[in-house]
Amino acid sequence: MTKAIGYPIVLADGPVLLRPYRRGDAVEWSAVRRFNERWLAPWEATPHGLWDQVNSVSSFHLVRRGLRRAAKEGEAMPFAICLQFPDGTERLVGHINLGNIVRRAFGSAYCGYWIDSRAAGQGIMPTAVALLVDHAFGAGGLHRVEINIRPENKASRRVVEKLGLREEGYHHNYMFIDGAWRDHVGYAVTIEDVIGEGGLLKRWHRLRGV
């Protein structure tokens, strides 16, 4: 068993908060997922006709249990993406995960994410990706993060392109998504790409003029 490194942890930048899931997230998670079926279903592996079932409150507990197990074994770093407000409340708006973490000579992981359509286009997801990548390269002890996206998923591709991640390849029939084997475009970033800028988050702030 690989020991978990750099997790659990809470990461934040302004109102954007990444934290481990809690049992109490079940109702909100299910409501967000169900509301966003048309927005998310084309890009996920959920079988047709089972969206409500797979994204029910009871299913959340199964999903959370699997994520916690993977995190404990050092194979993943899963986070709820939340917006935090001045009054101390927060709203769950998405998910981001480092998965398939491989250490030693490879030192790499894959990043996957989704966001509530009502929160899209506000810079939340690029901030979340930048936070997680910097953590992966710092306390997480990794060297490389890869993100693979269907070519048709323009919204998701805009996230990595805004951050200046490198497009590295085109993967034919890469993953079974939405009822068929789908092509994906591969993006990646290594610590050498961003260390001179102080990290990916600082790059993102600079690009936004923050």
CB-CB contact of 145 with 189 (8 Å): yes
Residue 48, pLDDT score: 80
Share of residues in the chain with pLDDT > 90 (%): 94
Q: State how far the Cα of 91 lies from the Cα of 155, in Å rounded to an integer.
A: 21
Q: State how far the Cα of 61 lies from the Cα of 191, in Å rounded to an integer.
A: 34
Tens of pLDDT, residue by residue over 105-153, are 999 999 999 999 999 999 999 999 999 999 999 999 999 999 999 999 9
pLDDT for 35 beyond 70: yes
Residue 3, pLDDT score: 74
Statement: the pTM of the whole predicted model exceeds 0.75: yes
Question: Which of the four pLDDT bands, split at 50, 70 and 90, describes residue 2?
Answer: low
Tens of pLDDT, residue by residue over 57-92, are 999 999 999 999 999 999 999 999 999 999 999 999
Q: In this structure, what are the phi and psi dihedrals at residue 96, rounded to the nearest 5 degrees?
A: -145, 145
pLDDT for 1 beyond 80: no
Angstrom distances, CA of residue 20 to CA of 8, 32, 68, 125, 184: 7, 17, 9, 16, 28
Say how many C-beta atoms besides its own lie within 10 A of residue 203's C-beta: 20
- Select from 189, 179, 139, 135 the least CA-distant residue to 159: 189
What six digits make up the tokens of 27? Answer: 């109702």
Q: State how far the Cα of 182 lies from the Cα of 170, in Å rounded to an integer.
A: 11
Superfamily for the 11-208 domain:
Gcn5-related N-acetyltransferase (GNAT) (3.40.630.30)
Share of residues in the chain with pLDDT > 70 (%): 99
Residue 108, pLDDT score: 98
Please name the helix (run of DSSP H) or strand (run of DSSP E) that holds residue 159, with its range, or none.
Answer: helix 154-162
Mean pLDDT for the chain overall: 96
CB-CB contact of 101 with 74 (8 Å): yes
Question: Which of the four pLDDT bands, split at 50, 70 and 90, describes residue 178?
Answer: confident
- Select from 110, 77, 81, 78 the least CA-distant residue to 13: 81
* Region of residue 165 (phi > 0: left; psi between -120 and 50: alpha; otherwise: beta): beta
What do you get for the CA distance between the two ends of the chain, in Å? 42
